[in-house]
């Protein structure tokens, strides 16, 4: 089924924006069922707001003992790795 460009209305600002055929194909490939509710500008704004709210928690690496920070609050009793040890563990 060929896709056609659609015009949608942003939930946040009320502006109309295009939901292109290529974007629709991308959504289908990824298994996304819902159309976007926000225009690209409002999506970018929300993303930057979420990223600016992220807090860094100081930790001591369970593997090497190095002081570092992580972008989450670690669970008590669970090991937490510094960025270097985490990257090494992902490569293994």
Sequence-distant (6+) residues with CB within 8 A of 10 are: 16, 17, 37, 38, 39, 42
Question: Tens digit of pLDDT for each residue in 27-46?
Answer: 999 999 999 999 999 999 99
How close are the terminal C-alpha atoms of the chain, in Å? 42
pLDDT band at 1 (very low <50, low <70, confident <90, very high): low
What the block records as the tokens of 84 is 């270097």
Nearest to 72 by CA among 90, 54, 49: 54
Residue 55: per-residue pLDDT: 83
Residue 9, H or E segment: strand 6-9
Residue 29, H or E segment: helix 21-30
Question: Tens digit of pLDDT for each residue in 48-89?
Answer: 988 887 788 999 999 999 999 998 889 888 999 999 999 998
Tell me the average pLDDT across 11-36.
96
């Amino acid at each position: 089924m060929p896709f056609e460009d659609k015009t949608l209305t942003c939930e946040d600002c009320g502006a109309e924006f295009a939901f292109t055929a290529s974007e629709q194909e991308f959504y289908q490939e990824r298994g996304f069922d819902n159309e976007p509710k926000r225009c690209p500008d409002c999506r970018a704004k929300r993303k930057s707001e979420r990223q600016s709210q992220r807090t860094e928690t100081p930790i001591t690496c369970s593997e090497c003992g190095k002081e570092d920070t992580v972008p989450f609050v670690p669970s008590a009793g669970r090991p937490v790795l510094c960025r270097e040890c985490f990257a090494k563990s992902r490569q293994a």
